[in-house]
Amino acid sequence: MGKTMAIRETVKAELRVNPLVDDTDITVMNIGGDVTLTGVVTSYPKYLEAAAVARGVDGVKNVHNHLEVVLLPHDYCDDAMLTTDANNALRADVTVPDSVEAIAHNGNLTLTGTVRYGGQGAAAELAVSRLTGVRSIKNDIGIWVDDADPAATARLVQNALDHNAAAAGGSEVSVDTYGNTVTLTGHVRTRDEADAVVAAAWRATGVLQVVDLLQIRG
């Protein structure tokens, strides 16, 4: 079995055994470590979980999630109720500023407003991602800050490496900051460590986008 086929079969196997994902209507394609998921799932959490499962498979470089969320009849929620539920969830999250608002249309949530740094926008998405009735989330949140500070961003990333037990003696990450975009390159030992580094970059003030080009070498 070639490497491309092995990655595809491993992703399929991991989806099959994950209790949070119903893989019945999911198709997996892989080209050189770029995995594409197509098909249907019955909730937005399953949509997210399927991508997370694929991302955690050794050899996967990128995941393109094209799954469609088709809600079960009892999970449908009218626009007014879902909009209210989403805004209540945003207000309940202390990390999301009051400037962020949500509006629903046929189960599709759109987030608008402004934040001080990109991590707050990510927190807003997370706050509404598990609400019943959500089919998709569009993040139209703006960021109104100066350019990201390269030195501060690099310190946060290095701190994440220093505090990650799995990083002992095996990782090398480069941080390139241009405007509000941070690009991470180099290699780490585990997916958990890569996630910690990406999360650290998001915490830097002024970061609007984090480009993860990290390689996992085990």
Q: Has residue 1 got a pLDDT over 70? A: no
Q: Where are the beta strands (DSSP E) in the chain?
A: 26-31, 34-41, 62-69, 101-105, 108-112, 114-115, 136-139, 142-143, 172-178, 181-188, 209-212, 215-216
**Tokens matching residue 111:** 């987030």
Asked whether the beta carbons of 98 and 91 are under 8 A apart, the reply is yes
Task: List, in order of start, the domains of the chain with CATH numbers.
Answer: 3-69 (3.30.1340.30), 74-143 (3.30.300.130), 150-216 (3.30.300.130)
Give the model's pLDDT for residue 68: 96
Binning pLDDT at 50, 70 and 90, where does residue 60 land?
A: very high
Q: How many CB atoms lie within 10 A of CB 187?
A: 15
Give the model's pLDDT for residue 145: 65
Q: For the chain, give the mean pLDDT.
A: 89
| Side-by-side strand order, sheet with 26-31 | 26-31, 34-41, 62-69
Reduced to 3 states (helix: H, G, I; strand: E, B; else coil), residue 83 is helix
Give the model's pLDDT for residue 180: 84
Cα 29 to the center of its chain, rounded Å: 20
Residues 131-190: tens digit of each pLDDT: 999 999 999 998 776 778 888 888 888 888 777 755 445 678 999 998 888 999 998 888
Give the model's pLDDT for residue 63: 94
Give the model's pLDDT for residue 31: 92
- Of 141, 139, 146, the residue nearest 205 (C-alpha): 146
205 against 106, higher pLDDT = 106
Binning pLDDT at 50, 70 and 90, where does residue 116 land?
A: confident
Find the mean pLDDT for residues 102-115: 95
Q: Has residue 54 got a pLDDT over 90? A: yes
Give the model's pLDDT for residue 84: 97
Q: Has residue 39 got a pLDDT over 70? A: yes
Q: Has residue 40 got a pLDDT over 60? A: yes
